[in-house]
Amino acid sequence: MFFNAMSYCDISNSQHPMLAYETALQEALASVSVKSCSTSIPLSQALGKVLACDVLSPMDMPPFSQSAMDGYALLAQDLESSNEFRVVGKSFAGHPYSGAITSGECVRIMTGAVLPEGCDSVIMQEKVTVNGDSITIDSEVKAGQCVRAKGHEYRAGDVVLKRGTPISARHIALLASMGFKEVEVFEPLTVAIFSTGDELIELGEPLAAGQIYDSNRYSLIAQLEKLNCHVLDYGIIPDCVSQIERAFSQANSEADVVITSGGVSVGEADYTKEVLDKLGNIEFWKVAVKPGKPLAFGYLSDSVFLGLPGNPVSAMVTFDKVAKPVLKKLAGEADSPQMLLGATCKTPLRKNVGRLEFQRGFAATDERGNLIVETTGGQGSGMVGSMCAANCYIVLPQMQGNVAAGETVMIELFAANLQA
């Protein structure tokens, strides 16, 4: 994998062990397995769900040999004796020709209609001359041309889609073509979410001195909904041991996964850590990633816990780059390949050695079709505007320093995260 290839060793010092991003992700992924049960649902409701078993083709596809064009069906070999054919009938979509043709005969045929017995090829109507009940063919004919043969794409029993596939419109097209009215999918995960912090205020309330709006819960819920999770919104929990404990206990009993933001950095983590030490088995990590260094991950008695940092960009990025892969695995989704692209960086980038950075960039293609990228400017972990101005991450390896304009960098398009 890219991150390993760039040799992300764990960097530690005695006081603050720091995990490489890839190590943290792999540890988190290795410690979870599918949590969702499966259920059968109508295909019309399957968009965005995850297939819970392999899908086998119930029939040959196409189910019968058929014409790919409007034209005339005949046996190509017959052209050796004559290029004139008598039209003996019609085969239209849904109305097959009954009977077989013999030498010198052909059948008028439409796209999708059954290829009549005795025929192996179709001549496009544009390539024949019609004279009453006969046609003359002047072009060359290759046996099998313009025919979609029975079983050409799939044979009955072939595995056509794998367990773990997230269902998109493309998959729905295939499943519908095979007649699946229902599909077996994983049930959505139930995810409880809350924000921690005495400074946080609910939208719609006026701000007093030192207060800010709780934006993380909205951004994280929006990301969870895209993942097709069932969300339990517990609101804002103040920095108070008893209230934090109550929220965690309730979330643990009601949800498969508990996600919080804020309160996991050193010092401030005290309450959360105190509560979580009682309720579960949680690691407080410092991950060598920017934005996002502090992160908590582990198990409560009945749920998986992910504690994201409070800074809004850090919360979003650690959700995307750590929580999301974990949630996908829990929800039964198969691994998707990493999609990093090389792009010429048009602007210099500031970068300290020591942490992998997901900087925000805007990518495009130049007039020759080559990928180029530029920074969105300030990269502070509280600057949500840098996410809004971006359409990709610029992924800068842990040991990378500053980047000069004109150098090649790796980018990950946000669109690559979306299910088409």
Binding footprint of ligand AMP on the chain (CB under 6 A): 195, 197, 199-200, 212, 214-217, 261-263, 265, 268, 309-312
Distance CA 166, CA 419 (A): 8
Q: Which is nearer to ligand AMP, 62 or 309 (CB)?
A: 309
Cis peptide before 337 (omega within 30 of 0): no
Q: Which is nearer to ligand AMP, 91 or 311 (CB)?
A: 311
Residue nearest to ligand AMP (CB): 310
Amino acid at 35: K
Q: Which is nearer to ligand AMP, 65 or 311 (CB)?
A: 311
Q: Which is nearer to ligand AMP, 163 or 217 (CB)?
A: 217
Distance CA 81, CA 381 (A): 79
**Nearest-approach distance from CB 250 to Mg ion, in angstroms:** 20
How would you classify residue 325: left for phi > 0, otherwise alpha for psi between -120 and 50, otherwise beta? alpha
**Under a CB-based contact definition with an 8 Å cutoff, are residues 348 and 402 in contact?**
yes
If we measure between CA atoms, which residue out of 353, 333, 331 comes closest to residue 400? 353
**Nearest-approach distance from CB 222 to ligand AMP, in angstroms:** 13
Q: Which is nearer to Mg ion, 197 or 280 (CB)?
A: 197
H or E segment to which residue 235 belongs = strand 230-237
Return residues touching Mg ion (CB under 5 A).
Answer: 197, 262-263, 310
**Nearest-approach distance from CB 156 to ligand AMP, in angstroms:** 53
Q: b or e along 270-298 (b: 16 or more beta carbons within 10 Å of the residue's beta carbon)?
A: ebbbebbeebbebbbbbbbbbbbbbbbbb
**Nearest-approach distance from CB 261 to Mg ion, in angstroms:** 9
**Nearest-approach distance from CB 189 to Mg ion, in angstroms:** 26
Give me the torsion for CA of 5, 361, 296, 417, rounded to 10°: -80
**Nearest-approach distance from CB 303 to ligand AMP, in angstroms:** 20
**Under a CB-based contact definition with an 8 Å cutoff, are residues 115 and 62 in contact?**
no
Q: Which is nearer to ligand AMP, 143 or 212 (CB)?
A: 212
